[in-house]
Structure 1
Amino acid sequence: MAIVKVMMMQKNEGPRLARWLTHYGQIFGMENLLIFDNGSSDKFTISLLNEAEYRGAHVRRDLNRPVDFQMKGQHYNNVIASLDHDEEYDFALPVDCDETLCVFTEGGLSLDARDIHAEFERLKSYRGAFSIGLSLFNVPNREGWYAPNRFFPKGFVPARCGARIDNGHHFPTSSEVPESFLTRFTYLHNHHRPYREMIRNARAKLALEVENVTDKELLREHARRALPGGHLVHLLLGTQADYYTMYKNEVQLYFQGNDVLLQEPGKKNVRYWDAKRYRECHPDTVVYEAGLLSHYLTYGAPEGRELP
């Protein structure tokens, strides 16, 4: 079984940290979790960190400045260099506290540890960086439903490859192989929170990157250049109504660890995902490396392909 070192930086994430610990600890083992605390003051969060440390997780508390969060990629690079020297492991996986790793399977989507480890085993021989091409963002005010974000790639790296991790871990690199390899992984990205909390968090994060968060032109330029935090700009430029309807024109997926339900934009009916019938209707999709459901969410839905 592959040894995966999971790295994450957080501050006061409480309930999200609890979900993160139970998911990644169960799949990879607490001893393989490396948590960077960025100065938490919330009692529940601190309690979780203490318990995780007691159970074998590695918790660092020295990186507690806002600038440390801004340069977390460099901190990850330093840790990976140490791991390469001192540890036997197979992959380094940088994640955010609101990201839950799952994998596209032959039939659909899975959170099961066996399916996730099977994908890591498949990737062991490749020495380039790995790409997670699609993320599934939670739909505001619709519990259990997600929508695809096709322009928010993430990635991870094999051990001892001369890795470099960027601050958002969107485009990690390997010094051995320049090309990245598309995996079958995806994230359930529970990014969206109640509107006022989202606005408050977006302002706080963008204040570290933009001189004046009330200047709409500065914000637009920041987003246009895809700078850190640029994916939050739309929150400050839009309205509450915009926030709660942001995915009205997008296919949405319901997934709670079992089968997948889909709802196409503008339609009231919900469809049960059937990989076999999708393959029969669209035989060209069998060559898509990341799986049939990934193909539908990435290409099929935007192309208007029939959902059988």
Structure 2
Amino acid sequence: MSSDQLLSLIQSTAPLVWNIFESEDENTAVASYIISQIMLLYTDGGRGGINLEPLQEYIEVTNVETVGLSINNPKARVFVGKNCSFQKVSISGSNEAYIFIGRDSFMANCDIACHSKKNVLVFGFNCRIEGLFVHIYGKFGFCVTAPGVTVQSGSNFCIQENSYIIIGSDSMLSTQVFIRTSDSHGIYDLETRGRINHARPVILHPHVWISRAVTINKGAEVGAHTIVGQGSVVQGRLIEHSVYAGAPIEMVRSGVTWDRRCAENIEENHDYLNNHFLSTFKKNSEQRFFSDPYESYTFLASYSLALAGRPSNLLRNTTTGTEGERLLLVQLSALRAAFLERGLVARSRLAKSKPNNPPTKPRLAVLMMQRDEASLLVPWIQYYGNQFGLENLYVWDNGSKESSVLNTLYEYEKLGLNVDYSAQSGVDFRRKGVILGKKIQELELSGNYDFFIPVDCDEFLAMEMSPGHVSVNKDDILDHLGEFANEVAPLGISAAYNNVLWRLNEFVRVYHRKTLFRSGTFKIMDHGYHVGETKCSAEKVQTNLTYLHFHYKSYDLMLSHSLNKLRPYLDVDNAENLKNAAESNRLAAFIVEGEDAYRARFMRQDALLIDDMACRLRQIGVENSKALWAVSAD
């Protein structure tokens, strides 16, 4: 399950828990437990699966009943599964809290303190937790630890301000691991007087290995099967199946997984994926595996995840697997009906937990710097805004003077466009690769995006299905980007389609170098986004993406635009200076050669007609699309 789906699920279920708490319903513990277990389903992709045990199999315990467990909070309700054992475990605080400890778990030398109202703490079955300090300060804060998680001594979880920590199944945390969802103290902007450092949740996906003395800061998300080296400081999003280390943290390697067993116990030619997952599948399918729908589903999901998202033909083609999937759907339907009958889960929310949801599309951030692009700014915003959402567009204004441009920015900013007015000089324009690069690194920390697309105002991202066949369908673009979900090298675009003026729907296909980046990999890029490096590679992996490049404008617009662009660096009123600059600068060349030579550029025989492109752009939302070819609207 992707991180945005997980967050969506938690955001939709957590308020339901809180509402039940506020109602003081006597079934609060039952409801919060079931909802927490549904959350566990979505954090689990490991080997154990989820065992949704009935609450009656848990015992609500007190100090008198449980050896090794000291409950010093009179308002805490603690539910313990079968075969659990405790040594010097203290539960403190003075406010109501709900704590669930799954069967076959072991806890020793732990201190759990719920300092605010209505906190939830869940440990899945078969966890081994030693020397852990959990402190929850914010109202409604919660911590969910999925089955099979191990935590060694000296680790500390600090949850504040209505945030949460989620740790996926079969994850392994070494000693002295610190996880914090907040900075603990406020930081304020002097100009706005607003606070700028609110708490953010921490999510560790299944089968994560966190080494000794690692600090995991607020807002961090660690992908499944990823390893974090000792002493690292984790922030932002770490991609799945990778190794990270350092402070600041950097990717060391990708395309890996790990084995919990000690190294001396691993045979030399051990094939972890095939031997472990396949043997577990065969053993459990013969016994009780498919009797538990949650366990069945999460195992199948984990196998697919372990193969880095590639579908498992082996499972798909086995009779047992097919029958198991059929039975799984039947049992899921029955379980869903039981939940609905209890009225504990809303139908629309429960629908999100179906295992057959289609994969989510990649999330894109598009970044662009412009100055007085009067003819292109509105079409650019309309195109990318309708394709990917205004809130995902980041525009820097580089000192525009034209009122139409500034008004456009102001109006679209009210609708959600992100506009930055801090880069106003010519020096800033020459540093736009650095400026946009810093924003990419900032957005990587948010975990809200999968890919970053730096573009110019005349570049409209599209998909080249084959040379001469170009699609502007959003799904074609996103589906193709999804193929690079695990790529750590910079992604390249090698061709663009330049518009041919005064000839509607005609383009010339040209060589055109551009670079884009998958989240978590960015290192550096040049001024024009032609060359870029990631933390792992400087060599591009080419995509089939392209640009509709509306590079050419009518002569009057081109002349005005070129003079405007050159004026900060060149005395454009000096003919000799312009002539010298024209040898290496295309804008100066346009000015020097004159209108007739400029028009002659477009009397080409090699132009490609791309049927109805103007119409397709208009359908996307580009209102006056014909103007992009300098053709008058009807």
Q: Distance in 2 between matches of 1:250 and 1:76?
A: 38
Aligned partner of 1:241 in structure 2 is 596
Change (3 A) 1:50 1:87: farther
Q: Pick one of 586, 603, 606 that aligns with 1:251.
A: 606
Change (3 A) 1:61 1:207: closer
1:153 alignment partner, SS class: strand
Aligned partner of 1:132 in structure 2 is 493
Change (3 A) 1:220 1:165: same
- Residues 1:117 and 2:483 aligned together: no
Aligned partner of 1:206 in structure 2 is 566
Structure 2: segments with no counterpart, 5+ residues: 1-360, 617-634
- Report the CA distance between 1:238 and its aligned residue: 2.5
Change (3 A) 1:21 1:200: closer
Q: Pick one of 376, 390, 402 that aligns with 1:42.
A: 402
The 5-angstrom pairing of residues 1-308 of structure 1 reads 1-105=361-465, 108-150=469-511, 152-209=512-569, 214-215=576-577, 218-219=580-581, 223=584, 230-249=585-604, 251-255=606-610, 256-257=612-613
- Report the CA distance between 1:52 and its aligned residue: 2.2
Structure 1: segments with no counterpart, 5+ residues: 224-229, 261-308
Q: Over residues 181-205 of structure 1, what are the superposed CA-to-partner deviations in whole Å (9 max), with x where a residue is unaligned? A: 1111111111211213323322343
Q: Which has the higher helix share?
A: 1
RMSD after superposition: 2.5
CA contact (8 A) 2:505 2:613 kept: no
Q: Distance in 2 between matches of 1:136 and 1:214?
A: 33
- Report the CA distance between 1:159 and its aligned residue: 1.3
One-letter identity of the residue aligned with 1:44: S
1:163 alignment partner, SS class: strand
Q: Distance in 2 between matches of 1:177 and 1:124?
A: 16
Higher relative contact order (CA 8 A, sep 6+): 1
TM-score by length of 2: 0.37
CA contact (8 A) 2:387 2:474 kept: yes
- Report the CA distance between 1:17 and its aligned residue: 1.4
- Report the CA distance between 1:73 and its aligned residue: 0.9
- Report the CA distance between 1:137 and its aligned residue: 1.2
CA contact (8 A) 1:141 1:244 kept: no
Q: Over residues 15-56 of structure 1, what are the superposed CA-to-partner deviations in whole Å (9 max), with x where a residue is unaligned? A: 411111111112211111111112333333233222322222
One-letter identity of the residue aligned with 2:477: I
- Report the CA distance between 1:4 and its aligned residue: 0.9
How many percent of aligned residue pairs carry the same amino acid? 27
Select between 77-86 and 101-110 the one with higher mean Cα deviation. 101-110
CA contact (8 A) 1:73 1:169 kept: yes
- Report the CA distance between 1:60 and its aligned residue: 0.8
Q: Over residues 275-297 of structure 1, what are the superposed CA-to-partner deviations in whole Å (9 max), with x where a residue is unaligned? A: xxxxxxxxxxxxxxxxxxxxxxx
Q: Distance in 2 between matches of 1:47 and 1:220?
A: 33
Aligned partner of 1:282 in structure 2 is none
One-letter identity of the residue aligned with 2:470: L
- Report the CA distance between 1:117 and its aligned residue: 0.8
CA contact (8 A) 2:579 2:589 kept: no
2:589 alignment partner, SS class: helix
Bigger radius of gyration among the two: 2
One-letter identity of the residue aligned with 2:473: D
CA contact (8 A) 1:207 1:213 kept: no
- Report the CA distance between 1:72 and its aligned residue: 0.9
